[in-house]
Amino acid sequence: MSFTRLIPAVVSALCSLAVGAQPVTTSFRSSGVDLPAFLQQHSEGELRAVVINLHGNPGGRIRPESPLAALLAKHGVASFWFNYSGIWGNSGTFTFSNSIADLRAAVDYLKSPEAKSRFGLGEAPIVLFGYSMGSAVALVGAGGDDRVAGVVALAPCDHGYFGREIANPQTHLKPLFAAAADSIFGPKGPVPGGWPVFSADLVANQAKVGFPQNARALQNKALLIFGGLDDETCPLEDHFFPLYRTLQGEKHSRLQAQVLTTGHGLDGQSALSMRQVTAEWIVRSFPGGVVKAADGKPSEPSTQQPRH
């Protein structure tokens, strides 16, 4: 749960002008609501994976620029991004539960014959990339979906923890919640008047959406988790480490974790490092699907890295 004052650095770092092929516009339906989206197609070799990029709270108006998507395209990875229901002009109601429903609808769309034909996605594995609240949407949503092969969680924020603290009258997070209620859900925010519904949803579902409770369901997913050493919004002690230690206790075999020397909003150098590590991790974790050999028979998956 990040604040408006923390967003500009991340928006600047993750959403600068992309170079190369322009993303294409599309849309999909989630619970009866049409959600605009962009898809950046891959530009090198065979398609390794499709990344769904899930923004934090509140994020920003959807734009067709993403340096992460541009970098991933050069590594044979397509990217897909959108805004959740009920925020930034989208119809519907903005809640954490509805955001997970949006994610599932996005996966449905990318796996549909329409999207496979239009974008040439085939059976490419789906990887979720989530920042802040988006990391929670990714980690909770991935656990119940066998179609998701991996998750990258940046600055993870456990919304089960937030739900417990909202329900706690003695919580030390009152200033955090008050700031969110004003900057995100206040009259000048992207979801005016939406705090009671958003917070009630977290309180009602706190036992289901916590990171430790969902760790076992992530056992078969490749995971890359970035924490911020100086994260003041979602401190490592309350969000990153409970998840990491639970995954370690479950003996998760495909877990990589890294702590960046940054706050909740990444500085320029941390953003560059994060993007490069993410691209390299996807290359290693998803070397490529089965391709047609010259004789028309399936060949073994490629393990060579794409050209840079």
Burial of 296 (0-12, 13-18, 19+ CB in 10 A): exposed
φ/ψ of residue 161, rounded to 5 = -60, -45
**Average pLDDT across the chain, whole number:** 88
Q: What is the pLDDT of residue 298?
A: 34
What pTM, to 2 d.p., does this model score?
0.87
Q: What is the pLDDT of residue 215?
A: 96
From residue 230, give the alpha-carbon distance in Å to each of 237, 267, 282. 11, 12, 26
**At 157, which amino acid appears?**
C
Q: What is the pLDDT of residue 45?
A: 80
Q: What is the pLDDT of residue 33?
A: 97
Burial of 173 (0-12, 13-18, 19+ CB in 10 A): middle
Q: Which residues of the chain fall below pLDDT 70? A: 1-21, 289-308
Q: What is the pLDDT of residue 103?
A: 98
Q: What is the pLDDT of residue 21?
A: 67
Q: What is the pLDDT of residue 43?
A: 86
Q: What is the pLDDT of residue 144?
A: 83
Nearest to 139 by CA among 227, 209, 53: 209
Q: What is the pLDDT of residue 288?
A: 72
Domains of the chain: 4-285 (3.40.50.1820)
Which residues have a Cβ under 8 Å from the Cβ of 24 and sit 6 or more positions away?
A: 38, 39, 41, 119
